[in-house]
Amino acid sequence: GAVVSQHPSRVICKSGTSVKIECRSLDFQATTMFWYRQFPKQSLMLMATSNEGSKATYEQGVEKDKFLINHASLTLSTLTVTSAHPEDSSFYICSARDWGTGSPDTQYFGPGTRLTVL
Amino acid sequence: AQRVTQPEKLLSVFKGAPVELKCNYSYSGSPELFWYVQYSRQRLQLLLRHISRESIKGFTADLNKGETSFHLKKPFAQEEDSAMYYCALSYQGAQKLVFGQGTRLTINP
């Protein structure tokens, strides 16, 4: 149980285009999901907390208009990188908390999405 | 500010030898500490948390508030332990996680 999926796993896009990444909790409901960014050989950095039915909470330094987050249902959160530029190239990882069967302080991670902006 | 430090980016030990992955943290409140592991080509997964005081796959970690440390230990390393290990601190009512830089552990045969 407690599986989180991400789609796509890899995406390559041209500079100036927008890219949407989906994060789904497959077998549980997630009122809260988290979006992280990981640069090569570096740690995960929390970008924002996605709350179902309300606005996301962004970490300091993260551009809200650049990284649009929508959490429209209890099993789906999306991250849209708008007007992507090469510096947005990174590994994006989502996680979700399972308040049902699992411990609420446990985050279950998706496999990540590799974004490359040309 | 919350911070987690893993001083070793790389750690290599022989099979059967003891392993210790270091983790230090800074946090003014009461911390909740975790160890996450990422095996090759797999997603990040929880290894253990300090609250549970459990041993998972032979690994243990004790929270030392005096030294602000949460080192991960295993008395006899196995080849399947080779992976990337991240120490993490939870704050704001377990809503957020701060990760250390990670330590890549390699177990040599």
pLDDT digits (tens, 9 = 90+) for B57-92: 999 998 998 999 999 999 999 999 999 999 999 876
pLDDT value at B94 more than 60: no
**Which of chain A's residues have a Cβ under 8 Å away from the Cβ of B43?**
4, 109-112
Burial of B5 from C-beta contacts in 10 A (0-12 / 13-18 / 19+): middle
The rounded percent of chain B whose pLDDT value lies above 70 is 97
- Of B45, B96, B101, nearest to A42 by CB-CB distance is B101
Instruction: State yes or no: cis peptide before B75, omega within 30 of 0.
Output: no
Tell me what the mean pLDDT of segment A57-63 comes to.
93
Contact: A105, B102; criterion CB under 8 Å:
no
| Average pLDDT of every residue of chain A | 90
Query: Measured between alpha carbons, how far is B14 from A103 in angstroms, rounded to an integer?
Result: 35
The answer to whether A112 contacts chain B (CB < 8 Å) is: yes
Confidence band for A28, pLDDT divided at 50, 70 and 90: confident
The minimum CA-CA distance between A60 and chain B, rounded to whole Å, is 12
Confidence band for A29, pLDDT divided at 50, 70 and 90: confident
